[in-house]
Amino acid sequence: MEAADLCFPQLLNASCGRPPRPHFETLLIYVLLSCVSLLTVVLNLLVVISISHFRQLQTPTNLLLLSLAVSDFLVGLLMCFQTMLIDGCWYLGDFMCTLYQCLAYVITSASLGTMVVISVDRYVAICCPLQYSSRITQQRVQVCVCLCWICSVLFQCLNLMDSFQQSGRFTSCVGECVFVISQTAALADLVFSFVVPITVILILYLRVFVVAVSQARAMRQQLVPAGPHKSGRATPKKSEMKAARALGTVIVVFLICMCPYYCVSLSGQENALDSSLAAFMVYLFYFNSSLNPIIYAFFYPWFRKSIRLIVTLQILQPDSCDTNML
């Protein structure tokens, strides 16, 4: 009976034990997380295929959505590994445990970097509409996206180098996945992967919100188009305002899902958390990646149309990439 509760029954003196949990509860959590993981991968893959295939969708703003969808797709794959820890056992070794955790840090940093660029994109579109086409070009957005990913990889690799070198040092038994980083690395990650990006996002979107409210007030008072000409300011397009609302919703949901984890880190109480609560915060962060495509489907008709074309395999037809999606 004792051997049956071990992660590796053949290693009686070295194997970790499974935490006591009802079999039905473990099975239910496993099925739920597997479904969420599959949903995340499929939905974000649809976003990636849609923007990559249809030329009309390859706008600067949608390229940012493509980068975000790629990171969410990778999160969906990481969730497959997270399901392995439901019964408290890790079967892939110490190095894969460290690699898994480091990939989670890299993807998180890249997602936040993309969110910052999205905020800049919406700020220019709403606050400087006449200069948007000249400032935000497809080439510049591509460079910014590449820089986000490259900087995330370099920063996290340098920040977590000690963890790679000491892989498995803090494991007390075989079958345990423990990832410990130094206080300096944790502080650097907290500042550059949360505090600075969130501050920039909030400042830019606060400005976007103020401009959007002023434009709505001007329209209600029937001062458009006369009002903007009198004040020397241009009015953002309706499509830009709709995109700002959609992307604002994405950012708000993103912050709601990730703030609990980073707020606990900011308070320095992460070691005092119950294991179930800590797991819930991780799952909440991962669940955000499956919500983004749902938000796109709610706000963007082109995404709903592209899903129909993909599911019915119409994208396999010749010249389907030139289909009118807007």
Out of 137-151, 183-197, 223-237, 245-259, pick the least confident: 223-237
List, in order, residues 6 or more apart from 118 with CB less than 8 Å away: 61, 64, 68, 247, 250, 251
Please state, in angstroms and rounded to a whole number, the distance separating the CA atoms of residues 76 and 48: 14
Phi-psi region of 22 (alpha: psi -120 to 50; beta: other; left: phi over 0): beta
DSSP 326: -
Task: State the pLDDT at residue 231.
Answer: 47
Residue labelled with tokens 């709903």: 304
The pLDDT confidence band at residue 229, using thresholds 50, 70 and 90, is very low
The pLDDT confidence band at residue 274, using thresholds 50, 70 and 90, is low
Alpha-carbon separation of residue 269 from 184, 191, 273, 310 (angstroms): 16, 17, 7, 46
Task: State the pLDDT at residue 159.
Answer: 81
Please list the alpha-helical segments (H only) found in the chain: 23-53, 60-82, 93-127, 132-135, 138-159, 161-165, 183-190, 196-220, 226-231, 238-267, 275-299, 301-311
Do residues 261 and 281 make contact, with C-beta atoms less than 8 angstroms apart? yes
The pLDDT confidence band at residue 2, using thresholds 50, 70 and 90, is very low
Please state, in angstroms and rounded to a whole number, the distance separating the CA atoms of residues 57 and 222: 33
Q: Quick one: fold of 59-289?
A: Rhopdopsin 7-helix transmembrane proteins (1.20.1070)
Tell me the Cα Rg of the chain.
23
As a whole-number percent, the residues of the chain with pLDDT over 90 amount to 21
List, in order, residues 6 or more apart from 256 with CB less than 8 Å away: 288
Task: State the pLDDT at residue 220.
Answer: 66
Task: Please give the structure tokens belonging to residue 78.
Answer: 């990481």
As a whole-number percent, the residues of the chain with pLDDT over 70 amount to 85
List, in order, residues 6 or more apart from 231 with CB less than 8 Å away: none
pLDDT tens column, 28-79: 888 888 888 899 999 999 999 999 999 999 999 999 999 999 999 998 888 8
Task: State the pLDDT at residue 306.
Answer: 92
Task: State the pLDDT at residue 246.
Answer: 78
Task: State the pLDDT at residue 226.
Answer: 47
Please state, in angstroms and rounded to a whole number, the distance separating the CA atoms of residues 85 and 91: 9
pLDDT(270) > 70:
no
Task: State the pLDDT at residue 230.
Answer: 47
Please state, in angstroms and rounded to a whole number, the distance separating the CA atoms of residues 66 and 220: 35
pLDDT tens column, 232-268: 455 566 667 667 777 778 888 888 887 777 776 666 5
pLDDT(161) > 90:
no
Please state, in angstroms and rounded to a whole number, the distance separating the CA atoms of residues 258 and 276: 17
Number of residues that make up the chain: 326
Please state, in angstroms and rounded to a whole number, the distance separating the CA atoms of residues 222 and 217: 9
Averaged pLDDT score across all residues of the chain:
81
Task: State the pLDDT at residue 93.
Answer: 82
User: What number is the average pLDDT over the span 205-218?
Assistant: 78
Task: Please give the structure tokens belonging to residue 59.
Answer: 């706008």
Task: Please give the structure tokens belonging to residue 14.
Answer: 């070295």
Can you give the residue ranges of every domain in the chain? 59-289
User: What number is the average pLDDT over the span 318-323?
Assistant: 87
